[in-house]
Amino acid sequence: MSEALLRDIAEYCRGAGIAESTFGRLAVNDGKLVGRLRLGGRVTTDTVERVRAFIAREPHAGINGVPVAVPVSLAPPTAAAAHNFRFYDNRQKYLLFVTTCS
C-alpha cells in the first residue's frame, strides 16, 4: 500500500511542481510524511484517505500535464508602507559600513 501511495504522491508533486515536504504539509499537515514512508514508516487508513482526497480535490495539471499558473494581482504600496523602513535591512547596511571602514 505504501509503494502505491508514494508513487501517487511523487506523480502529483512532479505535475504540480511542489516539493514532497510541501505536499505532506498541505495534505495532512506533516512535512515529513513522505520521508517517513520511504524509510518504511506505517500509515493509517485515515491518512491514506486524506492524502487521496487531497490529490482528488486539488487539480494541478493543465494542458498536457503542464502546471497552470494562477495570476496574482499586486496592489501598489500605500503611503504608510512606503514611509516605514525595515530595521533589519538598515542594520545590515550599518554593519557592512562599520566592518569595512574600521
Q: Mean pLDDT for each 10-residue chunk of the chain (102 residues)?
A: 87 88 91 91 90 85 47 60 60 79 73
> In this predicted structure, what is the pLDDT of residue 95?
81
The answer as to whether 20 is a domain residue is: yes
> In this predicted structure, what is the pLDDT of residue 87?
57
> In this predicted structure, what is the pLDDT of residue 75?
64
Q: Is 61 helix (H, G, I), strand (E, B) or coil?
A: strand
The answer as to whether 76 is a domain residue is: no
> In this predicted structure, what is the pLDDT of residue 54?
92
The answer as to whether 100 is a domain residue is: no
> In this predicted structure, what is the pLDDT of residue 33?
92
The answer as to whether 53 is a domain residue is: yes
> In this predicted structure, what is the pLDDT of residue 60?
63
Query: Domain containing 59: what range?
Result: 2-65
Total domains, the chain:
1
